[in-house]
Structure 1
Amino acid sequence: MEPLVYREPLAIAAFAATLVLWCLSELRIMVRNRGGSGENLDRGSRVWVVVLIAAGTAAAFGLAWLEVGRIAGWGVVAVGVALALAGIVLRQWSAATLGAFFTTAVEVQADHRIIDRGPYSRLRHPSYTGALLTAIGVALALGSWTGCIVASAFSVAGLVLRILVEERALASRLGPAWTSYARGRKRLIPLVW
């Protein structure tokens, strides 16, 4: 049987609207944040994040057709869409909170300072947490635990790589200020890492 988001008009509409919103929100970030004035310390991590999240999400679409790991029902679609929307909101809020310091490349600008308000009061990288929530939500809405696990694993792999590159750059450029900030916050998942 086809996943609900492929056959029920309301599920199709909610899921499609979520996908469009996700794409538009990422486009907004890319257009608004083409790069700051700092040295690019990205080391190719931006490409890996995009490729791995896209690959995991694409795999989830394919795995949704398999009976293995199938979870069906409107509740699954609703929770998936809600997680994805929460992730989109968190990512946009994070970008807005950092303002000029938010870039799509890993950069430490000359006037860079630690921002510890908003979502950054709880997590070091809430924007990446938002991206992870969105990818998991989209995969879950497709109705496959298998797809959800694959999308999560690929997304986490890309985001961990990115976080390690970014934290190395921040620690080398901001020194004790970064160390002090980082000490009191988890990186990606509250209470875990």
Structure 2
Amino acid sequence: MKISARLALFAIVVTLAYLGLAVWGMGGFAAFFSHAPLVVVVLATLVMAIASLFTEVNLSSGEREDRANRWVLPAFGVIGLLSGFLPAYTDRIDFWTFGGEGVRWLGVLLFIIGGALRLWPVFVLGNRFSGLVAIQPGHRLVTDGIYRKLRNPSYLGMLITAVGWALAFRSGVGLLLVALTMIPLVARIHAEEALLRAQFGNEYEAYCSRSWRLIPGIY
């Protein structure tokens, strides 16, 4: 089973709205697409959005959910709206920007790498990958492949993508928004780990002892 039609439509609308905010922030299509790195960012975003339509990501509360963590969804939404517009806008007015086209291309590279890392685990987990903190029917712990040493590779991919987006606009404000994202993200990680620990007990504890939570060698 693939992503539901309703969720697919939502993903498409959000993607186009996000890109639209960036185009608006840059002052229109001509200004935005005058930068080759930003053209590549748009193409990469569309490819990622299309790829996501072939995943089994869902919003199912499954057999067991930590409903107290749902506050992170609107938090991510607000930060996402700001990230869509502000980096592009600060780029246009040259507020707290740095570097030149080299920084933009570095951002493109990170954006693509982060996007791949974000989507890879989604395909690995299948219908166990929910937008909610929940245990799905038939849920089992995955500790091999991309999860062997890293417990939250998709979240790391999300952060790398966000940094890449900010750098594509040479935006210091964009990097601050990435730092702000860490607040709901860390809360989400702790909620997920608490639920997995309760579900899988010693098996999960053993996995934690030999893996990193988010950034290898650091956290």
TM bracket, shorter-chain basis: 0.7 to 0.9
- Kept in 2, the 8 Å contact 1:59–1:151? The answer is no
Where 2:155 maps in the other structure, the secondary structure is: helix
| C-alpha distance in 1 between matches for 2:122 and 2:50 | 14
* Aligned twin of 1:80: 107
* Aligned twin of 1:131: 158
Structure 2's unaligned 5+ residue stretches are 1-25
Deviation at 1:130, TM superposition (A): 0.8
| C-alpha distance in 2 between matches for 1:66 and 1:160 | 32
Q: Tell me the number of residue pairs that the alignment of Structure 1 and Structure 2 aligns.
A: 189
| 1:98 correspondence with 2:98 | no
- Kept in 2, the 8 Å contact 1:88–1:130? The answer is yes
| C-alpha distance in 1 between matches for 2:184 and 2:194 | 16
Structure 1's unaligned 5+ residue stretches are none
Q: TM-score scaled to structure 2, two decimals?
A: 0.74
* Aligned twin of 1:12: 38
Deviation at 1:23, TM superposition (A): 4.4
Deviation at 1:56, TM superposition (A): 4.0
* Amino acid aligned to 1:37: G
* Aligned twin of 2:88: 61
Where 1:96 maps in the other structure, the secondary structure is: helix
Percent identity for Structure 1 against Structure 2: 26
Deviation at 1:7, TM superposition (A): 6.1
* Aligned twin of 2:206: 180
Question: Which contiguous aligned blocks of 4+ residues in structure 1 show a shift greater than 4 angstroms?
Answer: 22-29
* Amino acid aligned to 1:158: P
| 1:35 correspondence with 2:60 | yes
Inter-CA distance 22–143: structure 2 relative to 1 (3 Å threshold): farther
* Aligned twin of 2:116: 89
- Kept in 2, the 8 Å contact 1:80–1:138? The answer is yes
- Kept in 2, the 8 Å contact 1:33–1:104? The answer is yes
| C-alpha distance in 2 between matches for 1:27 and 1:147 | 31
| 1:155 correspondence with 2:181 | yes
* Aligned twin of 1:191: 217
Which of these residues, 124, 141, 154, is aligned with residue 114 of structure 1?
Answer: 141
| C-alpha distance in 2 between matches for 1:175 and 1:58 | 43
C-alpha RMSD over aligned residues = 2.6
Deviation at 1:19, TM superposition (A): 3.4
Q: TM-score scaled to structure 1, two decimals?
A: 0.82
Inter-CA distance 26–97: structure 2 relative to 1 (3 Å threshold): closer
